[in-house]
């Protein structure tokens, strides 16, 4: 069997920033972010311990690590959002997501991160729903990328990120016939 590693890495493709980000696109992204907790819970809750400890692709994270990564990543994103909404173009703190995925908490049962995702996405959804269209023009500075990013782009990026990792789990389940 021939394995397409690029597809396994990016089952929905790599994130592509649209040339124009409309308010309708932002609203669609918000809906994805708000619905992510229910979708990831539905995908992972029936899985056994062995299934949770299965990498979603050769050389990739396990499903367990992926769930913990989503909690870590989305907590950071939410914090960055709040910084951009309350400060003038703040510099955010990058982190080594692969190193975080190797820390001891990545071995915990997934319920802890599912609870974080549920609570944090509820809070994030409330903040997103309260934002005016012009608020999405606010920025933060990403020191690794060496430029400022608008919240409009970031909300689309994290909608993609949610779907990206959900697709990793869903495709693994289909491939393994679980």
What residues have CB less than 8 Å from 176, skipping those under 6 apart? 51, 54
What does the pLDDT average to over 146-160?
Answer: 97
| pLDDT band (50, 70, 90) for residue 45 | very high
Instruction: Report pLDDT for 161.
Output: 98
> What does DSSP say about strands 139-142 and 147-150: parallel, antiparallel, or unpaired?
antiparallel
Ordered by where they begin, the domains of the chain are: 22-176 (1.20.120.450)
Residue 5 contacts residue 58 (beta carbons within 8 Å)? yes
| C-alpha to C-alpha distance for 51 and 89, rounded to whole angstroms | 42
Instruction: Report pLDDT for 4.
Output: 85
| pLDDT band (50, 70, 90) for residue 2 | low
Instruction: Report pLDDT for 141.
Output: 98
Per residue in 73-89, pLDDT (tens digit) is: 999 999 999 999 999 99
What does the pLDDT average to over 2-20?
Answer: 91
Instruction: Report pLDDT for 19.
Output: 95
CA distances from 18 to 123, 154, 157 (A): 26, 12, 10
Decide if pLDDT at 172 tops 70. Answer: yes
| pLDDT band (50, 70, 90) for residue 5 | confident
Per residue in 117-152, pLDDT (tens digit) is: 999 999 999 999 999 999 999 999 999 999 999 999
Q: Classify residue 142 by its DSSP letter.
A: E
Residue 164 contacts residue 12 (beta carbons within 8 Å)? yes
Tokens of 127: 């903040």
**pTM of the full predicted structure?**
0.95
- From the list 50, 68, 67, 58, the residue with the least C-alpha distance to 104 is 68
| C-alpha to C-alpha distance for 33 and 16, rounded to whole angstroms | 17
- From the list 128, 97, 111, 174, the residue with the least C-alpha distance to 35 is 128
């Amino acid at each position: 069997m021939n394995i397409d590693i690029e597809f396994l890495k990016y089952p929905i493709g790599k994130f592509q920033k649209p040339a124009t980000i409309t308010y309708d696109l932002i609203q669609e992204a918000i809906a994805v972010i708000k619905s992510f907790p229910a979708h990831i819970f539905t995908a992972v809750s029936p899985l056994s311990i062995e299934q949770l400890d299965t990498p979603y692709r050769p050389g990739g994270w396990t499903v367990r690590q992926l769930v913990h990564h989503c909690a870590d990543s989305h907590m950071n994103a939410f914090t960055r959002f709040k910084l951009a909404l309350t400060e003038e173009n703040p510099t955010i703190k990058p982190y080594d997501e692969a190193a975080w995925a190797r820390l001891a908490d990545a071995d915990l049962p997934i319920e802890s991160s599912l609870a974080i995702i549920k609570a944090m996405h509820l809070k994030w959804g409330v903040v997103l729903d309260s934002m005016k269209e012009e608020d999405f023009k606010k920025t933060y500075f990403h020191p690794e990328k060496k430029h400022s990013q608008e919240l409009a782009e970031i909300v689309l990026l994290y909608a993609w990120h949610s779907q990206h990792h959900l697709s990793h789990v869903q495709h693994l389940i289909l491939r393994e016939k679980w």
